[in-house]
Structure 1
Amino acid sequence: MAHNQFALLTQRRFLPFFLTQAFGAFNDNVYRQAIIGLLFYLGVDDAQRTLYTNLAPALFILPYFLFSATAGQIAEKLEKHKLIRITTSMEIAIMSLAAVGFVTQNMTILLIALFGTGLQSTLFGPVKYSILPSVLKPEELTGGNGLVEMGTSIAILTGMIFGGLIFTLAGTHGPVVAATAIIVLAVTGNLVSRMIPRADAGEPDLKIQWNPIPESVKIMRMTRRQPAVRNSVLGVSWFWFVGTVLTSQLPGYALTNLGGDPTLYIFALALFSIGTGVGSMLCERLSARTVEIGLVPLGAFGISAFMIDLYFARTGAATATGLDVAAFVRSAGSWRIMIDLVGIGLFAGFFVVPLFALIQNRSPKNELSRVIAGMNIQNAAFIVSAAVLGVVVQRFLHWTIPQVFLALAIANALVAIYIFTIVPEFLMRFLSWVLVRTLYRLRVSGVEKIPDEGAALVVCNHVSYMDALILSASIPRPVRFVMYYKIFNIPVMSWIFRTAKAIPIAGAKEDPEVMRRAFEEIDAALADGQLVGIFPEGALTKDGEIAAFKSGVERVLEKNPVPVIPMALRGMWASMWSRRSNRAEGGWLDRMRVPRRFRAAIEVVADPPQDAAGVSAQSLEAQVRALRGDRA
């Protein structure tokens, strides 16, 4: 039965948490937009409104710098359901104070409460993402993160619209309506949070250190331990940088370059938010329910491509002014701009969701909350940098908004290239993902049984020159494949194999030195807690049948008694790159032909890990035969 990620929204382990975080994001934005509405209601001058628009974001972001380290420790120590109830109870208290500010029309109280909402968000942030691996299966992480990002995008957008309309529709009753709305939303969020099931603490015996400076340094180091996690955190922070620059420029862009009235800004933001939500939701389908970081380069370069096109779509000021949404849609060139905004959001979803899933998947479970807290500190720094840079390039360098978009697109591409250079796994996974899903219709089952960490040996039948690439695109963790050295040296493909740190091997009679080095690399990789993949047949099948497994697998397990994961490839014999040929004397061009059906349907299946004790080449061969079944 096909899995539908929306099924999570019918389950208690996910739905109450999803609604709680959505209510929180919605209420935050209702509150902030209602303050802007109050400023217009009070008739304050432009100078006071400018002071607020600069002071408010600073007050909201400041707690992330001051308290993230403490928040990460608290989220690690406390049972997660309990902490979520505490933070939503805080929200009720903070919004009650804010309600007093609305009723008395006191901006000082409202700004103090705004600082409080930043503090509450700081405490909620680490548990928001660290709870997902506790309540979701590994194969559900991408879909769950996609739903959370989609829900957050919609909540932010609708919250801004609702908060912005309060004083427009309620008139003189605006302050009371705003006060009532934010309290009702906070209470609702708290009531829903009480239905979240228990989720155990990551490190219940952790002793909390209250000095924020050394703890901030400590958790920032924690985020940098593993290169893939470190650069995923960097990628998420860069996502916030790009998003901050883009969304902060949209009001001016809608007014000056699109010729719109105030409603057009919300429409432009809605297009971006809808794109982000759709992109987030598509991640699970595109990744075949694994943590597919191959989508990250696709997302990064897609963002740049659409942002460059946005620059060329409208490089100067609009010829018309005061356009509402309907008038803008009817104007020349509007559809290109709308598609670009949706496209930027779509590829932003492709970019950020796999990064969140990788951070959750690869971080030690007893450190995840602190890693998220460290990421939040870095996110805050990038958001502030984006805001400052936006002001500098426009006020001092006199860049137009389209020029800011173009510069951001180029910077985004350069940062992406930098990240993929220092962590080639991202780009290698992207190339594997593109190649495999272009050439085949791939179905994957059982890979969720592969452990998230620790050494293990993957064994599989060997049908084609693409086998290692297909398994790499199917298994969420990096795998060090042992492959015949002549396959390893195939032009173009060899770059991917080297980037993936594949281990070339030769027969003992063919090149004993290559064989010796291969076994040394296998031993070192398993000792380091890595996954190693081998094809125990020792060569591609010549007739589609599984050949006898050689004793090399026993030699590896004798020295490294790690768990063994039997896997099987189905449907590969009739596909390209196998040795099957229609001609009795066919050469390599015949063997590498395009299959009769474009994008042949293939399948990768896996059994649960088994203890190395008692495993033999013969028993593994029998398991792989049973896994493959009759579908060669």
Structure 2
Amino acid sequence: MRNALNLMRSRFFAPFFWTQALGAFNDNVFKNVLLLLVTFVAVPRLGWDAGLINNLAAALFILPYLLFSAWGGQLADYRDKRQLIIALKWLELVTMSCAALAIWMDAYALLLGLLFMMGTQSALFGPVKYAILPQHVQRTELVQANAWVEMGTFLAILLGTLGAGILMALGGNQAHLLIGVTLVMVSLCGLGAALLVPPAPAQSRGQLKWQPFRGSWQVLSNAWRTPRIFRALIGISMFWFLGACYLTQLPLWTSHVVRGQAGAVTMLLAAFAVGVGLGSLICARLSAGRLEVGLVPIGAFVLALAGFDFAAHPALGTGINTLADLVGMPRFWWMLFDLTLIGVGGGLYIIPLYTLVQLRSSDEHRARMIAANNILNALFMVLSAAFGAVLIGVMGVTLHTFFASLAAISLLTALVCALLQARPMMRISIFVLVHMWYRLRIKGLENIPDEGAAIVVCNHVSFMDALVMGGASPRPLRFLMDKPIYESPWLNWFFRMAGAIPVASERRDPKGMRRALDLVSKALQNGEVVMLFPEGRLTRDGHMNEFRRGIELILRRDPVPVVPAALSGLWGSWSSRYDGVPFKGMPRRFRARVCLSFGAPVASETATRKSLQASVAALKINIDHRASNKPFKEPVVLTEPDAATGQEKRQAEPGSVER
């Protein structure tokens, strides 16, 4: 929470947050006021066809995303993003001023044209919205920033929808005046916030060309050539497909199943929007400043399970239920809970995908990747309208079947994501479980390199060490482990999924060590991070054993940086040898304090098993001291052999790690 508040106070994020939130609020006030005016005023007065006009309004809002997104991506890549945001906020102010005048004059045809202008402004703002964040916030703050943006957007959508209904309920010229004042004042506030956004210089150079169809095809082709980014874009668009389906059919669900009125629709929409906000913040909390793609399939599973439960709700009576009636019905609160869970799943699902696109896109093409995302989103939202029209309008399926089909699509999405991100999903699941079982404190995560090969070495206290390390690391770790444990019939599938590397003792298998070293070398050459416990066995008395020569053999073949790490707090746990035999009796020390500290990377040229053992020992003594807040002795100092005696000089004071 402290990090989140610091971000919201930052001049590099807060002005932009309020700029986009106020813009989203204004867009939804205008869009919903327009739909209400057309449906309840223009159609009866002018004799327009309600279905035709509503579909025309939807097309006028979506069409600019197909026409201008690619051009907006070029603008955001080739121009200073701050200047572009200010120009777009001026466009919003002009559009909303014209809208206020059109509402006052009952110029409904002009309002439809202004809806196209508003869609154009949103289409051009979209690429800037996510492309500017990596320039203004640190990499470790990016997930948190995306969470705030997503939460602010959905809450602004909700408040804009509510605000439009409240303003229209006033009726007459008074309502028209207040609507116009609201649109203009909110635009002015957004412009003021935009003026406070710091500069964000262009990331690339190029010639601006507005080629509506060719430009859109080109940005989609560029995204297609980067498979990992394109898969993320498809995943984001799938979220908007599902979200559009839910939000479009909720009024019909309220009428046929809830048997409620407009207030019930508002409560259902609020539950979904609040859920997305909560899911976004939970995602930021679980991610701890890093990209956690393992949350994507978990979020999709939550979407699916909550969706199936929501689709199973029976009708709430046969008559019309007032809002007071619904508040007293447990089944209605259950519906709200399901929709909140659907939103939470959506937040967990969408934030890592946006972050992945931001981090994996090059600086020169990031905005155009976001533009490709907006184009796909628009296409999937059109597809969602067609999907609903075919299933409900043509095939005549019930609403329960329709929402169950959405849950089935969510489940299929979850399974695909789980297959593509099996190891990250397992890692974040372990991370959550470890945090539930222990009060884990982690220090020095920034010492694990963001990219490239590295080795992490740590002391070995319990059978939980690998789970704690794997869950805490910002990158997937390849573990070395004893071959008989690896070949356990009950857990072998788990170890294989985790990418563990089996090591057999030279007595059992003379060639086993060489095979293990070959696998380690292959992993390092592929740029992975390998984790090992150089002691080779669990401690029997809580103190470190001597590091074995395996680490030196690995570094001799593949000289990569080595990150020392130390664990404290697991000695005496159920999975340690505290009682002689691990897993003896009942589990104990639930919610025990466990500390994990990563030290600065050590260059391979200076890394020996003795120096690495000293580094790990120093880290361990430091975190032991912090945990107990008691004086401690200096770490063991290992030196070169004494020239006179040939014996290694070492200090082993009582209480030291070598006791």
Partners of 1:25 and 1:333 in 2: CA distance: 32
Per-residue deviation, residues 543-569 of structure 1 (Å, max 9, x unmatched): 332333334434444454444333222
Partners of 1:526 and 1:335 in 2: CA distance: 52
Partners of 1:343 and 1:452 in 2: CA distance: 33
Per-residue deviation, residues 278-315 of structure 1 (Å, max 9, x unmatched): 2222223344444334433332222222222222222x
Correspondent of 2:593 among 586, 601, 615: 601
Shift of 1:249: 0.7
Per-residue deviation, residues 242-270 of structure 1 (Å, max 9, x unmatched): 11111111111112211112222112111
Relative to 1, partners in 2 of residues 1:523 and 1:124: Cα closer, same or farther, differing over 3 Å? farther
**Structure 1 stretches of 4+ moved >6 Å:** none
Shift of 1:32: 0.1
Shift of 1:16: 0.9
Identity %: 39
Q: Secondary structure at the match of 1:481?
A: strand
Bigger mean CA offset, 382-391 vs 207-216: 207-216
Per-residue deviation, residues 448-478 of structure 1 (Å, max 9, x unmatched): 4433333333332233333333222212222
Shift of 1:411: 2.0
Partners of 2:214 and 2:506 in 1: CA distance: 55
**Match of residue 128 from structure 1:** 129
Q: Secondary structure at the match of 2:274?
A: helix
Greater C-alpha Rg = 2
Q: Secondary structure at the match of 1:291?
A: coil
Partners of 1:126 and 1:9 in 2: CA distance: 22
Relative to 1, partners in 2 of residues 1:532 and 1:85: Cα closer, same or farther, differing over 3 Å? farther
Shift of 1:225: 6.2
Q: Secondary structure at the match of 1:605?
A: strand
Shift of 1:110: 2.1
Match of 1:526, as an amino acid? L
Q: Secondary structure at the match of 1:44?
A: helix
Correspondent of 1:617 among 609, 618, 621: 609
Shift of 1:351: 2.4
Per-residue deviation, residues 117-161 of structure 1 (Å, max 9, x unmatched): 222222222222233333333333333222222211111001111
Relative to 1, partners in 2 of residues 1:332 and 1:480: Cα closer, same or farther, differing over 3 Å? closer
Structure 2 residue runs of 5 or longer lacking an equivalent are 625-656
TM-score w.r.t. the length of structure 2 is: 0.86
Q: Secondary structure at the match of 2:292?
A: coil
Shift of 1:192: 0.3
**Match of residue 522 from structure 2:** 524
Relative to 1, partners in 2 of residues 1:208 and 1:623: Cα closer, same or farther, differing over 3 Å? farther
Q: 1:307-456 residue pairs with structure 2 within 5 A?
A: 307-314=307-314, 316=315, 318-321=317-320, 323-331=321-329, 333-456=331-454
Match of 2:12, as an amino acid? R
Shift of 1:220: 3.6
Q: Secondary structure at the match of 2:312?
A: helix
Contact map agreement 2:574 2:583 (CA 8 A) in 1: no
**Match of residue 582 from structure 1:** 579
Q: Secondary structure at the match of 1:50?
A: helix
Q: How many residues align?
A: 622
Relative to 1, partners in 2 of residues 1:533 and 1:52: Cα closer, same or farther, differing over 3 Å? farther
Partners of 1:468 and 1:218 in 2: CA distance: 46
- Whether 2:47 is the aligned partner of 1:55: answer no
- Whether 2:153 is the aligned partner of 1:152: answer yes
Per-residue deviation, residues 474-528 of structure 1 (Å, max 9, x unmatched): 1222233333333433444432332233333344555454433433333333333
TM-score w.r.t. the length of structure 1 is: 0.89
Q: 1:229-240 residue pairs with structure 2 within 5 A?
A: 229-240=229-240
Contact map agreement 1:290 1:475 (CA 8 A) in 2: no
Shift of 1:417: 0.8
Q: Secondary structure at the match of 1:24?
A: helix
Shift of 1:227: 6.1
Q: Secondary structure at the match of 1:480?
A: strand
Shift of 1:81: 2.4
**Match of residue 247 from structure 1:** 247
Shift of 1:26: 0.3
Match of 2:478, as an amino acid? R
Partners of 2:123 and 2:389 in 1: CA distance: 26
**Match of residue 538 from structure 2:** 540
Q: Secondary structure at the match of 1:398?
A: coil
Contact map agreement 2:575 2:583 (CA 8 A) in 1: no
Partners of 2:503 and 2:212 in 1: CA distance: 51
Contact map agreement 1:298 1:430 (CA 8 A) in 2: no
Relative to 1, partners in 2 of residues 1:565 and 1:135: Cα closer, same or farther, differing over 3 Å? farther
Relative to 1, partners in 2 of residues 1:247 and 1:392: Cα closer, same or farther, differing over 3 Å? same
**Match of residue 91 from structure 1:** 92
Partners of 1:215 and 1:559 in 2: CA distance: 49
Relative to 1, partners in 2 of residues 1:500 and 1:57: Cα closer, same or farther, differing over 3 Å? farther
**Match of residue 269 from structure 1:** 269
Contact map agreement 1:255 1:262 (CA 8 A) in 2: no
Partners of 2:462 and 2:489 in 1: CA distance: 16
Relative to 1, partners in 2 of residues 1:594 and 1:285: Cα closer, same or farther, differing over 3 Å? farther
Contact map agreement 1:562 1:612 (CA 8 A) in 2: yes
Per-residue deviation, residues 380-436 of structure 1 (Å, max 9, x unmatched): 222111111011110111122222111211221122112212332343234423542
Contact map agreement 1:468 1:481 (CA 8 A) in 2: yes
**Match of residue 199 from structure 2:** 198
Partners of 1:489 and 1:144 in 2: CA distance: 43
Partners of 2:234 and 2:539 in 1: CA distance: 43
Match of 1:603, as an amino acid? C
Structure 1 residue runs of 5 or longer lacking an equivalent are none
